[in-house]
Amino acid sequence: MAAEPVWSVDPRTGKPREQVAVEATTEDVDRSVRAAHAVRETLADRSVRAAFLRTAADLLDGAREQIVETADAETALGAVRLTGELARTTAQLRAFAEVVEEGSFLDIRIDLPDPGAIPPRPDMRRWKIPLGVVAVYAASNFPLAFSVPGGDTASALAAGCPVVIKAHPDHPATSELCASLLRRAAAKAGLPEDVVVLVHGFDAGVQLVRHPLVAAAGFTGSVRGGRALFDAAAARPVPIPFHGELGSLNPVVLTSAATEERAEEIGAGLAGSMTLGAGQFCTKPGFVLAPSGEAGDRFLDALALGVSETGPAVLLDRRMRDAFVAGVTERTALDGVRAPVTPGAGDAHTVSAGVLAVDAALLTEGDRHHLLLEECFGPVTVVARYDSRDEITQVLSRLPGNLTATLHVATDADEDADAAPLLAELTPLAGRVLVNGWPTGVAVAPAQHHGGPYPATTSTSTSVGATAIERWLRPFTYQSTPDHLLPPELRDGNPLGLPRR
Amino acid sequence: MAAEPVWSVDPRTGKPREQVAVEATTEDVDRSVRAAHAVRETLADRSVRAAFLRTAADLLDGAREQIVETADAETALGAVRLTGELARTTAQLRAFAEVVEEGSFLDIRIDLPDPGAIPPRPDMRRWKIPLGVVAVYAASNFPLAFSVPGGDTASALAAGCPVVIKAHPDHPATSELCASLLRRAAAKAGLPEDVVVLVHGFDAGVQLVRHPLVAAAGFTGSVRGGRALFDAAAARPVPIPFHGELGSLNPVVLTSAATEERAEEIGAGLAGSMTLGAGQFCTKPGFVLAPSGEAGDRFLDALALGVSETGPAVLLDRRMRDAFVAGVTERTALDGVRAPVTPGAGDAHTVSAGVLAVDAALLTEGDRHHLLLEECFGPVTVVARYDSRDEITQVLSRLPGNLTATLHVATDADEDADAAPLLAELTPLAGRVLVNGWPTGVAVAPAQHHGGPYPATTSTSTSVGATAIERWLRPFTYQSTPDHLLPPELRDGNPLGLPRR
């Protein structure tokens, strides 16, 4: 069988730009994983790993113009956004270099022997070791920060795990470019290039998660694709951890007091957040509980005004555009759904943003409107108008897990009696709650948590921030092991000066 | 349909002692989970949780005589062992009370806002919150420390999760007794008794892992049972974490130098370790690589002598006795397998310990001898005689994951050239490696890790030690949340004086 070509496509025109690669065959996938596995020990030295991550950041920054141009041509995300995303990506690589050097991620715990204890306590030294080859499934919507040089790759390499990356078909040229830079950085740091391997193709992705030498996987994408890979990971003879970020509705609740206080401001803010990046952020607020009545009307008017002022948007690819048009059409057709701004197709290659509205009461019973409680990727949000506190509770109890949940309360929150109980109701639904803010724009910071109850993530981990490294490690204890046989990190006298307990 | 009775059985005679309970129906399981779920918020207060765990330890210690007598009558493990196990169990409950109070398990990270940063950094405060109801599947071989009042229960309650425990059928009376003491402790601490609920029955166990309100599960038991439950947990509409400890061969490697130096001492030590508790420890050394030749013969003679001197043993139940007899018979019948001490049936209710030996070369190709590389629960170990270092490597490459791996090297390890490379080869195979020791006897200490690559565990976690609490928590971040809406643990000024980053 001839190898399937992999084309780079311009979403602004739908036209193929160039053939970038061919899809990996079963043999290619096997060869890729074995190549990465064969060089895993070369990542054992933490200072080499840190140098590699910094060199990768430097090479990516050095190729900024070419990367941004290539990524924009494939994703239509625009040079400004992509320049910012590249800066975030290289900052993330450098941050993980620091994490590797600082060493507290090793979670070293030393118990000196106590022969007098009952029973006698042996010498035990625990740290964390890398799992092995990590399969990384790149996302479409962040062609850099959640793709080839993104958080999964950076954290896995930081942990000492080689990566085999399954490129996203929406930006294969960007993927090839970034992978070649990462491999060049490896060589410059004295490592084999095969600590980073790139493969293309849907089937290759499925084979990857089933490969016996793949030890863990990271994924960012749809519920459907992610769940299929999660199931394959769990069904292996030896199951492996699958850290997937699948989908999130990101509910927003407006209290009556907040809406009375600043309906217009909230409406305008939401319009900006839900249309940011053409509504293709994983934290896009896709569902809003707003009060019925006059203040709620003013909020909805402001939201509609803001959304109607956004121009047509190019989504990441044709399939997403078609899925958006189909998704909003199906939702708009539901009994009782109004469209203050009708979302749908723009010209042949664009979509127009929209707002749907419905009475919350319709969502509290039966399954006829369940679609409104599912993520619709792209620039649309659903506003459910509630008549009572009890309706909010009932609707929230029907929501799936989310990355974020947002609560708008009166500025003087002390005065808003709904604030505390609603915050408590939102907590089980999300990994991050925000008060009087917007969930898009995920700060890279130590207290960040980018994860949440299923389907937001398939594990209790985060894919953003320093603790993302924990996903690719396992604890390991040396008992009664002579000092010279221990890794230097665990030896007497702490020769490397690492944090220990 | 009449409820199925649950009998307590004396393994020394095979006779039923008393009917203890009835098996839970589907409705019973649903009611149990809902009851536990309904009271989950009562565990939010850490000081109440700590008091509860200490009260539970006190009540268990206070009922020592009755607990040991009941457990011995059901398990034949003997009063000395069970008294020690109870002390370990109550020490573990008290240790978790300290963990709860100390608070570093909350992993609090605070990022103060930085409006000058690009992009501006919001106020973010992260900690860990409990997952919800935890299903605990009790083990047979530790009727206290890995059963109703054991590590899974203690760590889940410490995390703030109510537990629904599926009793092991080998000690239902002990389970009922311990559960009633835990429930009484809850009441004494001002908590609803339903923070701990006990159910009996195989079907109940399956229903439990599928219940929508069960948020995570902990399991200690067989590969077959554990894998079935793992699969059910992964196949749920909303998958849940399943922390299972399934089985472990616990390989031992003797270098030539170690065997030359102290063949008799190692043989006698191994005989003690593999027959401890009738070979029913999860860390029993079940497979040994020993050199061929004279020194290896002396080791095997010493091992055989030690094992032949142990009397007949009562296993935990009839099914295990029959499985042991069948397992050793099947292994002994394999081509090329010798039996320096023949394991098998004792009288109608006992088994006799044994040692099998085989040339390592037979294990390096084909699958005919794969059974020798699988755990056989009970007092038997397999000694594979190697002719070369290369044979060791080949056999190790065929082993499944383990809780432990043990290496015996020359006392002056500097002089033993095999020590470092063999330690490196054992590392990927286990969660804990020991040098010149024995793996039975798992110290409860901060650096302990009781877990390992599959099938030793189904996750990268530990079921022993303080970090076991991490299994029942997930990170959660508050962004831009007014101080009075935050839990006291995260408020400005750190009013509770907790460790924070």
Contact A109 B446 (CB under 8 A): yes
DSSP annotation string for A243-305: EEE-----EEEE-HHHHHHHHHHHHHHHHHHHHGGGG--TT---EEEEESSHHHHHHHHHHHH
Residue B463 has pLDDT above 80, yes or no: no
Q: B155-184, pLDDT tens digit by residue?
A: 999 999 999 999 999 999 999 999 999 999
Chain B residue with minimal CA distance to A456?
B238
Could you please state the CATH topology (level 3) that the domain comprising B251-435 is classified under: Aldehyde Dehydrogenase; Chain A, domain 2 (3.40.309)
Q: Could you tell me if B298 and B263 are in contact, meaning their C-beta atoms sit under 8 angstroms apart?
A: yes
> What pLDDT, on the 0 to 100 scale, is given for residue A365?
83
Q: Would the CA dihedral through B177, B182, B187, B192 be positive or negative?
A: negative
- Joined together, the tokens standing for residue A49 give 């790993």
Beta strands in B188-230 (DSSP E): 196-199, 214-220
Among the residue ranges B123-132, B293-302, B385-394, B466-475, the one predicted with the least confidence is B466-475
Residues in A closer than 8 angstroms to B501, CB to CB, are 446
Give the CATH number of domain B24-111+125-246+457-490.
Answer: 3.40.605.10
Can you tell me the ipTM of this complex?
0.93
How high is the pLDDT of residue A413? Answer: 74
Q: Are A288 and A251 in contact (CB under 8 A)?
A: yes
- The residues in A 260-289 lying below 8 A from B, measured between CB atoms, are none
**Class of the CATH-defined domain A22-114+128-246+457-476:** alpha beta
Q: Point out which residues pair with A197 in neighbouring strands.
A: A164
Question: Chain B window 322-341: which residues touch A at a Cβ cutoff of 8 Å?
Answer: none
The CA distance from A222 to A109, in Å, is 39
Q: Which residues of B are catalytic?
A: 245, 282
Cα angle A233, A235, A239; round to 5: 55
**Alpha carbon distance B458, B220 (integer Å):** 10
The Cα A441–Cα B479 span in angstroms is: 12
**Residue B261: band (very low, low, confident or very high) from pLDDT cuts 50, 70, 90:** very high
Q: Which residue of B416, B481, B484, B501 to mutate against A (max A Cβ within 10 Å)?
A: B481
Considering only the beta carbons, identify the residue of B239, B431, B482 that sits closest to A454: B239
Helix, strand, or coil here: B420? helix
**Per-residue pLDDT tens for B212-243?**
999 999 999 999 999 999 999 999 999 999 99
User: A385-407, pLDDT tens digit by residue?
Assistant: 999 999 999 999 999 999 999 99
**Do the strands B351-352 and B402-408 form a parallel or antiparallel pair, or are they unpaired?**
unpaired
A480 pLDDT exceeds 90?
yes
What sign has the CA pseudo-torsion A301, A305, A308, A313? negative
In chain A, CATH 3.40.605.10 covers 22-114+128-246+457-476
Backbone angles phi, psi at A115, to 5 degrees: -65, -20
CB contact under 8 A, A431 and B476: yes
| Closest to B361 measured CA to CA, from B273, B258, B289, B427 | B289
State the span(s) of chain B assigned CATH 3.40.309.10: 251-435
Say whether pLDDT at A290 is over 70. Answer: yes
Residue A1 has pLDDT above 60, yes or no: no
Q: Annotated catalytic, A245?
A: yes
Q: Please work out, in degrees rounded to the nearest 5, the angle formed at the alpha carbon of residue A453 by the alpha carbons of A452 and A455.
A: 100
Confidence of residue A348 (pLDDT cuts 50, 70, 90): confident
Q: Stretch B121-133: mean pLDDT, rounded?
A: 95
A353: tokens are: 């943003």
Indicate the average pLDDT of chain B: 95
Put simply, the answer to whether A124 touches B459 (Cβ < 8 Å) is: no
B-interface mutation test, from A81, A111, A460, most B Cβ less than 10 A away: A460
Q: What pLDDT is recorded for position B447?
A: 84
Q: Is residue B501's pLDDT more than 90?
A: no
Interface residue B367 vs chain A (CB under 8 A): no
* pLDDT (mean) for B13-29: 96
d(CA A270, CA A275): 8
Among residues of chain A, what percentage have pLDDT more than 90?
89
Q: What is the mean pLDDT of residues A409-417?
A: 89
Distance from CA of B90 to the nearest CA of A (A): 15
Q: In whole angstroms, what is the distance from residue A111 CA to residue A103 CA?
A: 18
CA-wise closest residue to A26 among A165, A201, A149: A201
Among the listed residues B372, B435, B361, the one whose alpha carbon sits nearest the alpha carbon of residue B399 = B372
**Cβ contacts of A155 within 8 Å, gap of 6 or more:** A96, A218, A463, A468, A469, A471, A472
Give the pLDDT band of residue A298 (cuts 50, 70, 90).
very high
Q: B402 or B446, which is more confident?
A: B402
pLDDT tens per residue, range A299-320: 999 999 999 999 999 999 999 9
Question: Are the C-beta atoms of B426 and B396 separated by less than 8 Å?
Answer: yes
Q: Among A418-432, A445-459, B326-340, B350-364, which is the least confidently predicted range? A: A445-459
Q: What is the DSSP letter of A344?
A: E
Is the Cβ of A224 closer than 8 Å to some Cβ of chain B?
A: no
Region of A76 on the Ramachandran plot (φ > 0 left; ψ -120 to 50 alpha; else beta): left
| 3 state SS of A20 | strand
Mean pLDDT in residue range B35-46: 97
Torsion sign (Cα): B138, B139, B144, B145 = negative
Is B35 in a helix, a strand, or coil?
helix
pLDDT at A2: 67
Residues 10-49 of B with CB under 8 A from A: none
CB contact under 8 A, B435 and A462: no
Alpha helices in A309-418 (DSSP H): 318-332, 389-396
List, for residues B63-110, the tens digit of each pLDDT value: 999 999 999 999 999 999 999 999 999 999 999 999 999 999 999 999
Residue B462: name the closest of B440, B476, B442, B438 by CA.
Answer: B442
pLDDT per residue over A100-146, tens digit each? 999 999 999 999 888 887 778 899 999 999 999 999 999 999 999 99
For residues A52-56, average pLDDT: 98
A464-476: b or e for each residue (b if 16 or more CB lie within 10 Å)?
Answer: bbbbbbbbbbbbb
What distance in Å separates the CA atoms of residue B18 and residue B10, rounded to the nearest whole number? 10
pLDDT of residue B2: 67
Mean pLDDT of B276-293: 95
Element (H, E) at A407: strand A402-408
Residue B469, H or E segment = none
Nearest CA-CA distance, residue A457 and chain B, Å? 10
What's the rounded mean pLDDT across residues B117-129?
88
Q: Is the peptide bond before A119 cis (omega within 30 degrees of 0)?
A: yes
Query: Would the pLDDT of A423 be above 70?
Result: yes
Does A234 contact B231 at a Cβ distance shorter than 8 Å?
Answer: yes
Residue from A108, A112, A126, A246 to probe the interface with B (highest B Cβ count within 10 Å): A126
Mean pLDDT, rounded, of chain A: 95
Among the listed residues A72, A452, A461, A158, the one whose alpha carbon sits nearest the alpha carbon of residue A149: A158
Domain span(s) for CATH 3.40.605.10 in chain B: 24-111+125-246+457-490
